[in-house]
Amino acid sequence: MPRTVLSPDEIDDFRERLVEAATGLVARRGYEGVTRRRLASELCCSPMTPYRYFSDKAEIFAAVRTAAYQRFTAAQEASTVDGLDALEGLDALGRAYVAFALAHPDAYRLMFELGQPSPDGFPELRAAELGSWTPLRQAMERAVEAGVVTGDPELLAHVFWAGVHGLVSLQLAGKLVFSRPIEELVEPMLRTLFLGNRGPAADGTAPEGEPSEIPNRERAT
């Protein structure tokens, strides 16, 4: 029988401080700069101590990413202020999304970088990941109900998501060659997403009578 066991509080406390330190290190020295030994020196403990609380580095990063998702989710939810109609809410959400990503590029990278290890085996991470996605889905369901956009909410949410994510992803990767600040891209992107999904019955502007000149191949390979 165990004679001495760390209380859950102590464990959580240490894990939290470690995640905090790791997050700071990522922001300060980049993803590659997070070293177990550096981490230990920040926490004033020996390099192997974190192994008592995390089985390996993957688990550490899983915790860091989980925290990032939670903060991201909170930032999105904070954008939902009262008095906004469905369209304004969606717009505010999109801007909050972009603002968070630009303000915390490293956190965003941790969350959405291609090639991050999959959350398999980390249920908390998986849950946080899904959680960060629900504000948009909810806002989209509301928007569809209100009739400001038309279509399958799940599909629409993905399209919106991809739009804003693509923007910040390219920006953070330094790929944009746009001559003006990125804010002047966010506006057109959101406008595009709204106008492009207003749907046929929204206000009669784009009636079905016009089967759209949009290419509609499906059999083209």
Residues that bind a second copy (CB under 8 A): 30-31, 87-88, 91-92, 95, 105, 108-109, 112-116, 118, 129-130, 133, 148, 151, 154-156, 158-159, 161-167, 169-170, 172-179, 184-185, 187-197, 199, 202-206, 210, 212-215, 218, 220
Where on the phi/psi map is residue 6: left (φ > 0), alpha (ψ -120 to 50), or beta?
beta
Task: Considering the complex, state which of residue 21 and residue 190 has its C-beta at the smaller distance from a second copy.
Answer: 190
Task: Yes or no: say if 117 and 58 are a contact pair by the CB < 8 Å rule.
Answer: yes
In the complex, the smallest distance separating the C-beta of residue 55 from a second copy, rounded to whole angstroms, is: 19
- For a second copy, give the closer residue by CB, 2 or 209: 209
Residue closer to DNA (CB basis): 56 or 152: 56
The two most distant CA atoms of the chain are separated, in Å, by 78
- Asked if 101 and 75 touch (Cβ cutoff 8 Å), the reply is no
Contact residues for DNA, defined by CB under 7 A:
1-6, 34-38, 45-49, 51-52, 56-58
CB of 59 to DNA, least distance (A): 9
Which residue in 65, 66, 41 sits closest to 50, CA to CA? 41
Spatial separation of the C-alpha atoms in residues 76 and 78, rounded to whole Å: 5
Residue 83 binds which entry of a second copy, DNA, none, CB below 5-8 Å type-dependent = none
Provide the minimum distance between the beta carbon of 46 and DNA in the complex, in angstroms, as a whole number: 3
Q: How far is the CB of 30 from a second copy (least distance, A)?
A: 7
Q: What are 20's two structure tokens? A: 């905090």
C-alpha to C-alpha distance for 112 and 69, rounded to whole angstroms: 10
Comparison of 16 and 152: residue with beta carbon closer to a second copy: 152
Backbone region of residue 147 per phi and psi (left: phi > 0; alpha: psi in -120 to 50; beta: other values): left
Helix (H, G, I), strand (E, B) or coil at 199: coil
Choose the one of a second copy, DNA, none that binds residue 219, judging by a C-beta under 5 to 8 angstroms depending on kind.
none
**Among DNA, a second copy, none, residue 48 binds (CB under 5-8 Å by kind):** DNA
Q: How far is the CB of 136 from DNA (least distance, A)?
A: 34
Tokens of 52: 């008592």
Residue matched to tokens 């949410």 = 157
